[in-house]
Amino acid sequence: MGDKREPKIEAYPGPAGGWGSAKSVVEILKREKVPIPATVQELWRQNKPRGFTCVSCAWPQPEKPLKFEFCENGAKASAWELTSLRTTPEFFAQHTCTELLAWSDHDLEQQGRLTHPLRYDRASDKYVPVSWSEAFNDIGAELRRLREADPKSVVFYASGRASLETSYLYALFARLYGNNNLPDSSNMCHEATGVALRKSVGASVGTVVLDDFAKTDCIFFFGQNAGVNSPRMLHDLQKAAKRGVPIVVFNPLRERGLERFTDPQSPVEMLARRETPLATQYLQVKAGGDIAAIAGLCKTLLALDDEALKNGAQLVLDHGFIAQNCHGFDEFAAWLRAQDWADLEAASGLTRAEIERAAATYARANAVIGVYGMGLTQHVLGEYNIHLFANFMLLRGNVGKPGAGLCPVRGHSNVQGQRTVGIADDPALVPLNRLAEQYGFEPPREKGFNTVECCEGVLDGSVSGFIGLGGNFLRAIPEQELVTAAWRKLRLTVQIATKLNRSHLVNGEVAYLLPCLGRIEKVVENGVAQVLSTEDSTSCIHASVGKAQPASPELISETRIVAELAKATLPRNPKVPWDGWLEDYGRIRDAIEQTYPDQFRDFNQRMWQPGGFHRPNAARERVWKTDTGKANFILPPSLTATGFADAPNRFRLMTMRSNDQFNTTIYGYDDRFRGINGTREVVLMHQDDIARLGLHDGQTVKLVSDAGDGVQREVGGLRVVAFDIPRGCVGGYYPECNPLIPLSHYATFSKTPAAKSVPVRVVAC
């Protein structure tokens, strides 16, 4: 199980959680050959006060944790890091990078943890071991040379796993170096959220805390797959469902984790195979059809309100809230009245009756939580999806009251926190004046590169150096083939990582692969164990204590790697105490508090609070930090979020995550809930579309880009799977389908790659 084998496609009868989950955890523990007692001991500490923060998703830690506060996918992520497998210098002596490029993503990471700092040797096309001091000196010298030529030519990428301490130092390093080129993985996921929510409600993050789930009386879900990507949330959903809270889901696919759940930690539920149904209504909206669906919901609320007014009944909209807090309601109402139901039905793929039923559920609830994920953000009109969702919530004052609010579910376990402490390409989001004063330098004021702009810079030659603090940049981005080809012309590439991945095999002229400790491992500096911290999806900040034995004695922390790189590169500045910070990471937290006094008051004390301390959020208090000083109703330019016109054989490709992966990390080849086992090389299609194209279930096809920009992009060898998916939409796995996404295909304002509606044709091979 878990390996590539004869594909088996067969509907999965079980719930999310349950015995399937338990079995899947046992399999990965075996596959990673982890020492079982030590691993169980670690899992016991996961997401607990004085334990470590799970390295998988960003769902918050409850104040009073469960006995085991982890889920199937959290356990997989921990086992992946605690593995006893090792990728040693001997391994690299045996394989060239070119040879390894032909390996699968799964096989590369399956070699285990990196153990030694490595330098790429161009002559042999192999990685060779190098000492830390040699690596830092050489990289420092290269970075100084690049800085002399153009300080804007180096990019400092971060994947969202590094701690607040490391992230703060990393952002400071980039600014002292001379640029704001700080793209991070959130540029590819919730960037659209930051941009859209700032305009709608003046906050760039969600407004709910965990406690709101206990108080809510209705939950609306758009394009977020909790059962796979934030499974601990299922406990909160299950509790809500058991209280009779309606859960309404808008998703093109019927995701099992949103349908029913068995708590694997409950012996009664497990033994009795008892399931809790979750979604009370499931609407299979077309990919890119949410603007129309939400407009339909809002139009219904308006009609219900009109009717109530006529009958002298209680009004449906919260007019008091709207008058006091909102801007643009009249224009929005006029726009809604002008919409034709036939257009809304066609663009959403839903019927008026279904939408009206969902709107009636919403209208009956006093406190509604609006949850969303990549299904809304990763579209050309991704920001408008979010604006419409915010409009919908504002109509009944569902922002800034107990049990209600917007809940974008963030991706990586510290991706939100990285932004909070300065990893941002937009200098307007950073207190530059305070940094200037604190560190006695003139920070760069020009906007830096985000992820898409970094790729553009690689293509046009304006980028010469790349540092990756985690992640798998070349595999995660769109337009993989062109960017990968240009990548080899970079002067310097440095990757800081725990495991080998594809991005490490495509190198600049000078290239290093620097291995680091993971979050579960003990970090010791000068004989003293150090503590790190992270921020979750609900803006709660907590300590994380790693205790596991390091995977190799050579490993040092990411915090140290960043500080040593900075020291080797930058002129000495007595106001920037890199060595002092490394002696005691608590001093980095003091520095963070000094830069962000309102957000991080008493950081070193409060991070120990069970469940963490909450960063203030003005929108939660109904203080609207927008251009109008109010919460804004914003109108969309179109009912469809795809950004391209429909055409007879043009499909909307949604790139999907399986239940057996964390982003580009492929744990195995089973997507249990969707019943696709032993393979990821599939394209999910509606039976009618299969027949219309004269194809058949099981046939091999290729997907070809239909972006109309003259660039040849295709992914072949995919097996057609007849699936319950809206007509006109097809599903394929991320990252295998990434070569099909044009670099220019992104959300308009945030440049979030539009990975949930990519224009493709399906062609028989």
Ligand X SMILES: Nc1nc2c(c(=O)[nH]1)N[C@H]1C(S)=C(S)[C@@H](COP(=O)(O)OP(=O)(O)OC[C@H]3O[C@@H](n4cnc5c(=O)[nH]c(N)nc54)[C@H](O)[C@@H]3O)O[C@H]1N2
Tokens 């508090």 -> residue = 593
CA dist., res. 599 & res. 124, Å (int): 50
Minimum gap (Å) between residue 412 Cβ and Mo ion: 6
Stretch touching ligand X by CB under 6 A, among 32-40, 431-439, 465-473, 695-703: 465-473
Label residue 663 left, alpha or beta by phi (over 0 means left) and psi (-120 to 50 means alpha).
left
Instruction: Tell me which DSSP letter residue 187 carries.
Output: G
115 binds ligand X (CB under 6 A): no
Minimum gap (Å) between residue 574 Cβ and ligand X: 29
> Residue 192 binds which one of Mo ion, ligand X, none, with CB within 5 to 8 A depending on kind?
none
Footprint (CB under 6 A) of ligand X, residues 665-724: 665
Sketch the per residue contact string, 400 through 419, with Mo ion: x for CB under 5 A, - otherwise: -----------x--------
Which of 540, 631, 678 has its CA nearest to residue 209?
A: 540
474 binds Mo ion (CB under 5 A): no
Question: What b/e sequence results for 455-488 when a residue is b if at least 16 CB atoms lie within 10 Å of its CB, and e otherwise?
Answer: bbbbbeeebbbbbbbbbbbbbbbbbbebbbebbe
Q: Which of 117, 252, 726, 742 binds ligand X (CB under 6 A)?
A: 252
Instruction: Return the SS3 of 630.
Output: coil
497 binds ligand X (CB under 6 A): yes
CA dist., res. 740 & res. 652, Å (int): 12
185 binds ligand X (CB under 6 A): yes
Minimum gap (Å) between residue 512 Cβ and ligand X: 13
Minimum gap (Å) between residue 758 Cβ and ligand X: 8
Beta partners for residue 496, in sequence order: 469, 514
Stretch touching ligand X by CB under 6 A, among 88-96, 221-229, 324-332, 670-678: 221-229
CA dist., res. 99 & res. 84, Å (int): 24
Question: What b/e sequence results for 284-307 when a residue is b if at least 16 CB atoms lie within 10 Å of its CB, and e otherwise?
Answer: bbbbbbbbbbbbbbbbbbbebbee
189 binds ligand X (CB under 6 A): yes
Q: Which of 127, 633, 644, 662 binds ligand X (CB under 6 A)?
A: 662
Question: What b/e sequence results for 125-142 when a residue is b if at least 16 CB atoms lie within 10 Å of its CB, and e otherwise?
Answer: ebbebbeeeebbebbbeb
Residues contacting residue 537 through CB under 8 Å, at least 6 positions apart: 57, 58, 59, 60, 206, 230, 407, 408, 409, 410, 416
473 binds ligand X (CB under 6 A): yes
Tokens 């919730």 -> residue = 190
> Residue 224 binds which one of ligand X, Mo ion, none, with CB within 5 to 8 A depending on kind?
ligand X
Footprint (CB under 6 A) of ligand X, residues 740-759: 741, 755-756
- Residue 570 has, within 13 A of its CA and on its CB side, a CA count of 23
Footprint (CB under 5 A) of Mo ion, residues 162-201: 189
661 binds ligand X (CB under 6 A): yes
Residue 45 or 756: which CB sits closer to ligand X?
756
256 binds ligand X (CB under 6 A): no
Footprint (CB under 6 A) of ligand X, residues 270-309: 285, 287-288, 290
Instruction: Return the SS3 of 20.
Output: helix
Give me the residue whose beta carbon is nearest to ligand X. Answer: 373
520 binds ligand X (CB under 6 A): no
Beta partners for residue 513, in sequence order: 118, 495
562 binds ligand X (CB under 6 A): no
**What is the size of the binding site for Mo ion (CB under 5 A)?**
2
Residues that bind Mo ion (CB under 5 A): 189, 411
- Residues within the interface to ligand X (CB under 6 A): 56-57, 73, 109, 159, 161, 185, 188-189, 222-225, 228-229, 250-253, 255, 285, 287-288, 290, 373-375, 378, 409, 411-412, 469-473, 476, 496-499, 501, 516, 518-519, 558, 654-655, 657, 661-665, 734-735, 737-738, 741, 755-756
